[in-house]
Chains A and B, each alone.
Chain A
Amino acid sequence: MRYWEVPFGKEKPKTPLGEIHILKERCKGCGFCVEYCPKDVLEMSDEFNSKGYHPPQIINGEACVNCGLCETICPEFSIWCTLKEEVAFEN
Chain B
Amino acid sequence: MPKISQKAIHKYLRHDKNFPHVWCSGCSNGIVLGATIRAIAELGYKKDNIAMVSGIGCSSRMPVYVDFNTLHTLHGRAIAFATGIKIVKPEMKVIVITGDGDATAIGGNHFIHGARRNIDMTVILINNNIYGMTGGQYSPTTPYGDRTTTTPYGNIDPTFDICDLAIGAGATFVARTTAFHAIEAQSFIKQAFEHKGFSLVEIISACPVIYGHLNKKGDASAMMKSMKENVILIEAFEKLSDEQKNGKQKRGIFVNKIRPEYIEEYDKLVRSLQDEKGGE
Contact = CB atoms under 8 A, between A and B. Distances in A.
Given A32-B220, A68-B3, A75 B19 contact: no
Given A26-B19, A28-B20, A73 B31 contact: yes
A48 interface: no
Given A26-B20, A31-B221, A32-B220, A75 B26 contact: yes
Contact of A74 (B24, B34, B219, B220): B34
Contacts of A31: 26, 219-221
Interface of A: 21, 26, 28-32, 35-36, 51, 53, 66, 68, 71-78, 80, 82
Interface string B1-42: 001011001000101000111011111111101110010000
A30 B212 CA distance: 14
Contacts of A72: 31, 34-35, 38, 182-183, 186
A63 B140 CA distance: 45
B210 interface: no
Contact of A29 (B21, B25, B35): B25
Contacts of B182: 72-73
B224 interface: yes
19 contacts: A26-B19, A26-B20, A28-B24, A29-B25, A30-B25, A31-B220, A32-B26, A35-B224, A36-B224, A53-B25, A72-B34, A72-B35, A72-B182, A73-B31, A75-B27, A75-B29, A76-B19, A77-B9, A77-B30
Chain B residues touching A, range: 20 to 34
Contact of A71 (B6, B25, B33, B220): B6
Shortest 3 CB-CB contacts between residues of A and residues of B: A75-B30, A28-B25, A30-B26
A29 B27 CA distance: 11
Nearest to B20: A26
Given A28-B20, A30-B220, A80 B27 contact: no
Contacts of B33: 75
Nearest to B6: A80
Contact of B13 (A28, A51, A68, A77): A77
